[in-house]
Amino acid sequence: MRANGQRRLAAAGAPAPALPAVPRTAVPTVTYVLFVVMAGGTLPTPVYALYVQRLHLSPPVVALVFAAYAVGIVAALLLFGGLSDKIGRRATLVPALVVAAASSVVFIALPTLPGLFAGRLLSGVSVGLTTGAATAYLRELHPSPPRAALIASVTNMAGLGSGALLSGVLVEYAPSPEVLPYTVLIVLLLPGAALVLLPERVVARGGGIRPQRIGVPPAVRRPFAAAAVAVFASFALLGLLAALAGNFLVQGLHNHSHLAVGLVAFSAFGSAGAAQLLAGRMTPRAGLVAGMTAVPLGLALIVTGLSAASLPVFLCGSVLGGAGAGTSFKSGLALVTSQAAPDRVSELVSGYFVAAYLGLTVPVVGVAVLLAEGTLMTAAGVFAGVVTVLCLGSIGVTAALGNRTSTRRTPP
């Protein structure tokens, strides 16, 4: 696969430089970098309970700290989403690793509320820089671009799940629980320096960095609405479990285990990653409907688990809801990209990810306020009801699309 700059050279009549051979370690190295950076995104989840005790943080404050993570991601995606196309994949990924390490250093050196906000913001920026550049790099390095996209998508969710699980084990059983998880992450980031040995597939070119444009052409507003509502609802569930699982386990299940918190997040994100392997065999419309059916069912099990004080039922709900979220995420993205003209894809995808990360944060803050002002079951019930309505709305719009989305593409 040739880079954009090389294609332009060839079109102008200039000889395009030969691309260097791809070493066998290239795809595993980029996949590892993506996995570790994503793991850093959920590493603080089991540590939140310690911060709550030491800093006397309320649920809304914890939710806002988590929201800083999503703000960092969206800012990086919108401001620097096209950076790797201009300066190269390696030149983007190496600084992303540095930012991820800096996030951990901030958590260790500044264990205060401002430090938590700064650490989460930097963590989000590192994730935002890494996801786009690593995904594009894998598509250039792997002989099969569709399989490369699947590797990136599954690795994304697997990293998020594994970060929470690793942190849960360390916080529960190892010393210095507010320091060791971040120290381990820094060590895990070090092998990512092997990126500098990989071939660059993009010819660096000049030009300023422009914010990513977001737009939804009229011809695809209905399929985009179905996909955007679906990913909003899906990420709302994932965000709830990543930010407030500790509150739910303590108040609802009387379980104070940090490992259990990590296990809940791992079950949700892990099943989301695994479900994407199956979602690739479904049409986008069928995948959206299946995902939007599974998310409310998973929430019903979560609420039932809280009511019955049953961790197994709660975990089953996390697995089912996470699988639905992963299916919806992949299917919604496929639906959006299939309807766009080539020169409008980035606009639609950017809008899709903005909807996703709004879903990751806004509902979580609302639930946190309900937790502070009311009861656990009220907060969980309201959240489940709102998300279920969103899921039903997405199913309704998706069903109404019929087969019109199979061939239509937006005009340039």
Greater model confidence, 116 or 206: 116
| pLDDT computed for residue 403 by the predictor | 53
Task: Assess whether pLDDT exceeds 80 at residue 19.
Answer: no
pLDDT above 70 coverage of the chain, percent: 90
| Mean pLDDT score of the chain | 88
| pLDDT computed for residue 207 by the predictor | 62
Residue 338: both structure tokens together: 């299939």
| pLDDT computed for residue 281 by the predictor | 85
Task: Assess whether pLDDT exceeds 50 at residue 408.
Answer: no
pLDDT grade for 292, boundaries at 50, 70 and 90: very high
Task: Assess whether pLDDT exceeds 50 at residue 21.
Answer: yes
Task: Assess whether pLDDT exceeds 50 at residue 1.
Answer: no
pTM value is 0.87
